[in-house]
A and B are shown apart, each in its own frame.
Chain A
Amino acid sequence: MEEIVKEKILNQLDVSKLDQFITDLKSKPDVAKAVNGPWHSRVEWQGGLKAKAYMRTHTASFDEPEGLGATDSAASAHEHVLSAIGACMMTGFVFQATRRGIKIRNCEIALEGSFGDIKNWAGLSDEGTPGYPEIKAKMYVSAEADKKTLEELWNEAWKRSVVAQTVSRGAKIVPEFEAL
């Protein structure tokens, strides 16, 4: 009995729950609909260039470097974007690896991006883009599988990543406004 329990936990995940989730997605339309969203974040100004985002029961803090007159008490929003892309791709990688029974010893993703033109952000130019025209993401992984299998999983991870695809496909943002 103990052996069975051991086998169901892999990469600190309950494999049976992952399997159940996939089964439900296939067979229960309501589950897919609920997971699809909508998802929410509410961002509150905290003074200066600080902001705090509230998501379900969680929060994330934002600030800007001191060079901008801010207090650098937290990462910038664009750094959170890099992190969100990496974390989302990691989620997909670990999820799929676990489903295939692959034990992961260590996993790390290094991301890097440079602004197209910070002058655009500052309103000094209309040239180029203030955003990252390109983002590099490199995965380092040590796992009990051959390199080819792991590389396939990695390719799947970024192709199917919610955040990576949101960013790379340029999600339409619908701005609304109300002054009080």
Chain B
Amino acid sequence: MGSWPRPSWLIEALRRREEGQLSFEEFNAVADDAVLAAVKYQEDAGLDIVSDGEQRRDNFYSFVVEKLDGIKLMTVAQLLDHVNDRASFEETLRALDVPAFAMRSPVAIGEVRKKKDLAGDELGFLKAHTDRRIKIPLPGPYMLTRSSWFPGLSDSAYPSIEDLGSVVSTILREELLALKEAGADFVQFDEPVLSQVVHGAEGAETFMCAALASRKDPTEELEYAEELMNRTVKGIAGIKTGIHVCRGNWSRKEDVLLKGNYGPLLPYLMEMKVDQLVLEFATPRAGELRVFKEYGTDKELGLGVVNPRSSEVESPASIVKRVREATSYFDPAKIYLNPDCGFGTFAERPVNDAETAFAKLRSISLAAKALREEPMELVAG
């Protein structure tokens, strides 16, 4: 699991941090309590692999502005002055029913340099407070590059997106090595925007990636995503790596989220030198598992088995059924069970409450237990 819904007092502290009323250290002290609570929920639910619920982050990628020089957090409202096609942007805002001020993106406005480890503090705190295996989610190199390079704002420091991509993949590679040295078990790179590349409307902008309207054709974009990922992870052993691709997690309205199977992405995902594919499969929007049929792979599958956005809690029996289907394509020992995405991707717009999220994690854990009693080895995370 990645993100966990943040308590109201943490959101208030996040606001105060953004307004400069709390220092980085003061905010982290407040967030410690929220992380401990998020970890306890996961442990009590029976998860084998835990995260810190991304409690210290505003969202899964914009938090990097605290850790990197040369990147500024801008709202979509602020970016409206720089958007190529405001009409399609407006269309997307309306379809999602979100205000432009609530969506934020890191934007490169100068030379990007590491100021602090991206997740070193998160890992250190987790290691001191849990004996479970630890997963650290990081923004993927393509996502971070694409969202941060904005024409008119970034090109003075980075004339092309490739110039920025080179720096971003280097920073993420150094971070991966640092997390490995510090004892992280699993680093997941989040690349949800890849779904937008293949399933988003042509020319439509997305708030996962405000600059995507300037994208090239999908094949070139996917090749570039593969190249950036491999530059980031290739040759690094001793730590598990994964890529997470979903179809958006900003709304409980299923009809506004992207839909389409993983087929168009798989040729590229399979070439990425990561150990695990962390994919959503709990809703019909994600398509069927049979897209894996033509791929013989030694990769692990992080199988999404619960919808993080719904109030209904999936039964362990329904999860078991889905996993059995996955065993047609993956070695059972290489299947890991997950929610489709986090429960609180964006701090101020969680997609579920903690009680429901806990019940869903518990269902996953019970399903894993039931499956372990059969001749299959599964891990819940």
Chain A residues with a Cβ under 8 A of chain B: 105-108, 110, 112, 140, 142
Given A108-B77, A110-B93, A110-B94, A140 contacting B15 (CB threshold 8 A): no
CB of B94 within 8 A of CB of A106, answer no
Say yes or no for B101: interface residue by CB 8 A criterion: yes
CB of A142 within 8 A of CB of B94, answer no
Chain B residues with a Cβ under 8 A of chain A: 15, 75, 77, 93-94, 98-102, 348
Give the complex CA separation of A142 and B15 in angstroms.
11
CB of B94 within 8 A of CB of A140, answer no
- CB-CB under 8 A from B102, the residues of chain A are 106, 140, 142
Give the complex CA separation of A42 and B94 in angstroms.
34
Q: List 18 A-B contacts (CB under 8 A).
A: A105-B15, A106-B75, A106-B99, A106-B101, A106-B102, A108-B99, A108-B100, A108-B101, A110-B93, A110-B94, A110-B99, A112-B94, A140-B98, A140-B99, A140-B102, A142-B101, A142-B102, A142-B348
Give the complex CA separation of A142 and B75 in angstroms.
14
Shortest 9 CB-CB distances between A and B: which pairs? A140-B99, A106-B101, A108-B99, A108-B101, A108-B100, A110-B94, A108-B77, A110-B93, A106-B99
- CB-CB under 8 A from A110, the residues of chain B are 93-94, 99
- CB-CB under 8 A from A142, the residues of chain B are 101-102, 348
B97 shortest CB reach to chain A, Å: 8
Give the complex CA separation of A106 and B102 in angstroms.
8
Q: A105-B15, A110-B94, A140-B101 are known contacts; what are 7 more A-B pairs with Cβ within 8 Å? A: A106-B101, A107-B101, A108-B99, A108-B100, A112-B94, A140-B99, A140-B102
- CB-CB under 8 A from A140, the residues of chain B are 98-99, 101-102
- CB-CB under 8 A from B15, the residues of chain A are 105
Give the complex CA separation of A156 and B75 in angstroms.
28
Q: Nearest A residue to B348 by beta-carbon distance?
A: A142
A64 shortest CB reach to chain B, Å: 15
Q: Nearest A residue to B18 by beta-carbon distance?
A: A105
- CB-CB under 8 A from B98, the residues of chain A are 140
